[in-house]
Amino acid sequence: EAQVTQNPRYLITVTGKKLTVTCSQNMNHEYMSWYRQDPGLGLRQIYYSMNVEVTDKGDVPEGYKVSRKEKRNFPLILESPSPNQTSLYFCASSTWGPPTDTQYFGPGTRLTVL
Amino acid sequence: RKEVEQDPGPFNVPEGATVAFNCTYSNSASQSFFWYRQDCRKEPKLLMSVYSSGNEDGRFTAQLNRASQYISLLIRDSKLSDSATYLCVVKAKIGANNLFFGTGTRLTVIP
């Protein structure tokens, strides 16, 4: 089954404790990205990757890191989480560019930073 | 100014009604347009792409007006299962794949 998986699905942590949210896709997609979704602000892109070892900042990259060592995996790293990073996070993948621009989203990770 | 703007709603409509959502975008060079559906606490899923000529998929019709920079989604004969948040999405840049999402319009179809 074609899918994007994220782990963990739920996480409560404390300020400053490094964490990693994993993302994996089995569709051989070149493009992967991370979004955060907050009430009233919609989905905002954090980072994206156009292929292995190629990453770039989205609209809200501060406080986050990513890596793309393998095509299928795109982990999101919070080196020192803060309460303003409490949010719902989605990983997404797609083929690169038109005609197929469909983003396939993972199920989401609900993160609470105390 | 936001890249993509939508009326957040909520839209509460009876079963069988026709409902329309609009969405405006700020970048006139925007390339691709989409409607995604998001159920509560779930991931967004593509509902339909929006083409310049307009397109229809069953009870759903999407239209694009480049001159006025807005896209629309029309749902006919609303079903209870149509209750969700509808996200307007715009791909703004040539050569990049980053998308801009509206905040979504909440629809509730009432029995």
- Strand, helix or coil for residue B82: helix
Are B97 and A58 inside 8 Å of each other by CB? Answer: no
Nearest CA in chain A to B4: A42
Cβ atoms within 10 A of the Cβ of B10, count? Answer: 12
Closest partner CB to A42 (pick from B45, B98, B103):
B103
The full 3-state SS of chain A, as one line of letters, equals: CCCEEEECCEEEECCCCCEEEEEEECCCCCEEEEEEEECCCEEEEEEEEEECCEEEECCCCCCCEECCCCCCECCEEECCCCHHHCEEEEEEEECCCCCCCCCEECCCEEEEEC
pLDDT averaged over every residue in chain A: 93
Are A42 and B42 inside 8 Å of each other by CB? Answer: no
Nearest CA in chain B to A108: B43
- Asked if the model's pLDDT at residue A98 lies above 70, the reply is no
The 10s digit of each residue's pLDDT in A40-96 is: 888 999 999 988 999 999 889 999 999 999 999 999 999 999 999 999 999 999 876
Q: Cα separations (Å) of A95 from A27, A30, A108, B46?
A: 9, 6, 20, 14
The 10s digit of each residue's pLDDT in B30-62 is: 888 999 999 998 999 999 988 888 899 999 999
> Is B81 near chain A, with CB under 8 Å?
no
Are A90 and B43 inside 8 Å of each other by CB? Answer: yes
> Is A51 near chain B, with CB under 8 Å?
no
> Is B41 near chain A, with CB under 8 Å?
yes
Contact B4, B24 (CB under 8 A): yes
All residue ranges of chain B with pLDDT < 70 are 93-98
